[in-house]
Amino acid sequence: MTQAPAPNVTAQIVSIVLYTFIAFFCIGLPIAVLPGYVHDQLGFGPMVAGVTIASQYLATLLSRPGAGKAADSIGAKKAVVLGLAGIAVSGVLTLISTLLQSLPSTSLTLLIIARLVLGASQGLIGVSTISWGIGMVGAEQTARVISWNGIASYGAIALGAPLGVLMVGAGGFDTLGIVLTLLALLALWLIRDKVAAPVVRGERLPFWAAFGRVAPFGVSLTLASIGYGTLTTFITLYYLDRGWSGAAWCLTSFGLCFIVSRLVFINAINRFGGFAVAISCMAMETVGLVLLWLAPSTTAALIGAGLAGFGLSLVYPALGVLAISRVPSASRGAGLGAYAVFFDLALAIAGPMMGAVALHLGYGWIFLLASVLALVGLGLTWVLGQRPSEAQAL
């Protein structure tokens, strides 16, 4: 494939990751209000609140094999359409759940089902937009596609979280389901005439074969990403525990710094290599998480969240370029799905694990544990970079 001029490449990528933005905006809207809804309105404890949020990430994790297969076999665009339809269904279920608030168990059950559907939809869209983008602009632009996809996803969450708080404050929890449904329907209307990337013919690796090839890098990704899962799931309750207000702005600080890092250093991976970038970024993320643990004020917490976002920003694409280079092009969707499993795993285990830590030690300690895990991920990445086979591959 002939490489398109850089401006055209960026324009093509942005036109595709628009659907990632819409999907993650739908994820961001409820992220800062649902833990409080489960805890305060429905009357359940922090562990249940954590499980409710984590159920979405667990569904995303479990959907990855099917998502990768769908992107490779039926085409990435059709897989994205399926994901957007799932978000619409999730919106309807969320609306019904909030209308049944007087029946806490029923409301919680429907809310968890809605989160599961949303998680599966996220899995389809997350893998398929990247595969679609690479198919349109070429494999040599993999780092750029992954980076822009991340900008769209985290930017959407950074924007959606505070808007969700304002929206619920003005119109009540019922507005969540209504807006999620309408946004999904809008995206389905926008995508109808979008050009699809051709389905790549050739060797199709079984999912678990692709999983094995990307696993060494995926484990490092999991360890680094638990901090993000901890922040998104518990920052609201952490702020409440400290007697602070404005928890949504921590998510905004994380997301904005994440975006700035990717925009400014988008070419760093090709210039310095995936290992060097990943190690440097994990170090910065660790510092940010430690600052969140020790934060004496909301200002310090915002700085800590910003450093964590700035650091984590390039970890996914840096390790992703290394991982995806180890699967054939015809199995790109399977490789992307397998790699994404490790990110999903971090988010799925962060809720229950950190909820248990918070229950016994307090909310501040969850960020210390997350920083230790990020540091372990840094060490593993350094070890991988010392292997002769990896040096030769680079």
**Residue 1 forms part of a structural domain:** no
Contact in structure between 108 and 115 (CB atoms under 8 Å): no
| Stronger pLDDT, 16 or 155, i.e. the higher one | 16
State how far Cα 285 lies from the chain centre.
16
- Pick the residue with more confidence: 154 or 370? 370
pLDDT tens digits for range 183-212: 999 999 999 888 776 666 656 677 778 888
Mean of the pLDDT values across residues 142-169?
84
- Which is more confident, 112 or 50? 112
* pTM of the entire predicted model: 0.74
pLDDT above 60: residue 4? no
Q: How many CB atoms lie within 10 A of CB 189?
A: 10
Quick check: helix, strand or coil at residue 355? helix
Residue range 223-240, pLDDT digits in tens: 999 998 898 888 888 888
Residue 33 pLDDT more than 90? no
- Whether 382 maps to a domain, the answer reads yes
**pLDDT value of residue 3:** 45
The pLDDT tens digits of the residues spanning 58-89 come to: 888 788 888 877 887 788 888 899 999 999 99
* Domain CATH code at residue 102: 1.20.1250.20
pLDDT digits (tens, 9 = 90+) for 93-103: 999 998 988 88
Query: Six-digit token pair at 34?
Result: 């649902």
Rounded Cα–Cα distance for residues 225 and 216 (Å): 15
Query: SS3 for 223-269, per residue?
Result: HHHHHHHHHHHHHHHHHHHHCCCCCHHHHHHHHHHHHHHHHHCCCHH
Residue count of the chain, please give it. Answer: 394
Residue 393 confidence (pLDDT): 45
Which residue has better confidence, 131 or 189? 189
Q: Choose the most confident range, by mean pLDDT, from 77-81, 120-124, 260-264, 303-307.
A: 303-307
Q: Is residue 31 part of a domain?
A: yes
Structural domain range at position 237: 6-196+203-393
- Give CA–CA dist 131/136, Å, rounded: 9
CA distance to 35, 43, 165, 172, per residue, from 31 (Å):
8, 18, 9, 15
* Per-residue pLDDT, 323: 87
Helix (H, G, I), strand (E, B) or coil at 314: coil
Could you give the dihedral angle defined by the CA atoms of residues 59, 64, 65 and 68, in that order, rounded to the nearest 10 degrees? Answer: 150
Mean pLDDT value across the chain: 85
pLDDT average, residue stretch 268-296? 91
For residue 74, being part of any structural domain is answered with yes
The answer to whether 77 touches 268, Cβ cutoff 8 Å, is: no
Question: Using an 8 Å Cβ cutoff, are 204 and 299 in contact?
Answer: no
The pLDDT of residue 222 is 94
Instruction: Count up the domains in the chain and report the number.
Output: 1
Return d(Cα 386, Cα 64) in angstroms, integer: 30
CA dist list (Å): 204 to 72, 215, 242, 299: 8, 18, 52, 50
Question: Could you report how far apart the first and last alpha carbons of the chain are, in Å?
Answer: 22
